[in-house]
Structure 1
Amino acid sequence: GKWNRDFCFGGNPEGSAATNADKLLEDSGLDYTTLRLPWLNDRPEVKYSITHRHDTYVGVSGSRQSMADVVLKIVADPTFGSRDSLGIADPLSL
């Protein structure tokens, strides 16, 4: 977690462009879903945990197949993750 915060956000995820953009979407009234993706790996299995907007992000990596599974769920059911920021991570990396 600390390495990711330092590397991706300069130690300050609350002031990052991604966090600020997510806040603008939340306040906009639009129907949207943002995805907080981890470092991707090539594990073949679809296995992940999801955290929501104000939950602490858990995990450091996830399989490409797992990320695709979440996107397909959103396409099949647009209410899944609607007006939310979904953090996706491989539970093996917890």
Structure 2
Amino acid sequence: MSTKVLVLGAGGAIAQHVTEFLKENKNIELTLFARNIEHLNQHQSSANIVKGDVLNPNDLNNAIKDQDVVYANLSGPMDKLAGEIVKAMDKNGVKRLIFVTSLGIYHEIPGKFGVWNERMIGKDLIPYRQAADIIERSSLNYTIVRPSWLTDKDEVEYETTQKGESFLGTEVSRKAVAAYIANIIEHPEKDNKASVGVNKPGIYGDKPVFY
């Protein structure tokens, strides 16, 4: 039996890498959900493509119904988005959620990099943290993903840290974050009820080298 996976925010760069990683997996049935479906890769002919808005309860409920895994990679009012997703998943009895937030939401970055990160992201960290809190309080089997500063490098190197551990890595490629997420989708028992930092190994410092 195939695993039904709903991708919310499917037009985003990380999400498109995820769907590329998964498209050859015959055991996964993808539904790609986005406000602007014309931005989706047209070669995703085997995927179901749904136009909708996560903040529209009818759109969201119709998309989540009968899914096995929900992967959300969104921008906007993160706390409201998380709240609507948790509510719809509870209503439809769907348990597995993968939700992308931001590094720094737990003040988990030590030293100068932590100071720099909070200065750069500023108050935007608050709704990301609120989103994580909403998900962590839920009854869902969640993985909260906290990527480092993102690059477009064509590489899939990554290492992970758990909530409560120091986050040191200053960058990671979108493709590497997607590789991690695709692995979780294919092995949904991994990193359950976990908040996971994702960064490129060995790249540590006071700020990303591209700043």
The TM-score normalised by the length of structure 2 is 0.39
SS of structure 2 residue aligned to 1:85: strand
Q: How far apart are residue 74 of structure 1 and its match?
A: 0.8
User: Which runs of 5 or more residues in structure 1 are unaligned?
Assistant: none
- Find the counterpart in structure 2 of residue 9 from structure 1: 122
The percent of aligned pairs where both chains have the same amino acid is 28
Give distance in 2, aligned partners of 1:30 and 1:42.
31
Give distance in 2, aligned partners of 1:17 and 1:65.
25
- Find the counterpart in structure 2 of residue 72 from structure 1: 182
- Find the counterpart in structure 1 of residue 148 from structure 2: 38
Q: How far apart are residue 4 of structure 1 and its match?
A: 1.0
Counterpart of 2:196 (choices 79, 86, 89) is 86
Give distance in 2, aligned partners of 1:50 and 1:41.
17
Counterpart of 2:164 (choices 54, 57, 60) is 54
Larger helix percent? 1
SS of structure 1 residue aligned to 2:145: strand
Deviations 1:44-89 (A, max 9, x none): 2221110112212221210122111101111101111211111101
- Shift of the 9–55 alpha-carbon distance from structure 1 to 2, 3 Å rule, reads farther
Q: CA RMSD in A?
A: 1.6
Structure (1 or 2) with the larger CA radius of gyration? 2
CA contact (8 A) 1:51 1:58 kept: no
Deviations 1:4-48 (A, max 9, x none): 1111135xx6xx221222122212121111111122113322211
Q: Which has the higher contact order (CA 8 A, sep 6+)?
A: 1
Give distance in 2, aligned partners of 1:45 and 1:30.
31
SS of structure 2 residue aligned to 1:71: helix
The TM-score normalised by the length of structure 1 is 0.81
* Runs of 4+ with deviation above 4 angstroms: none
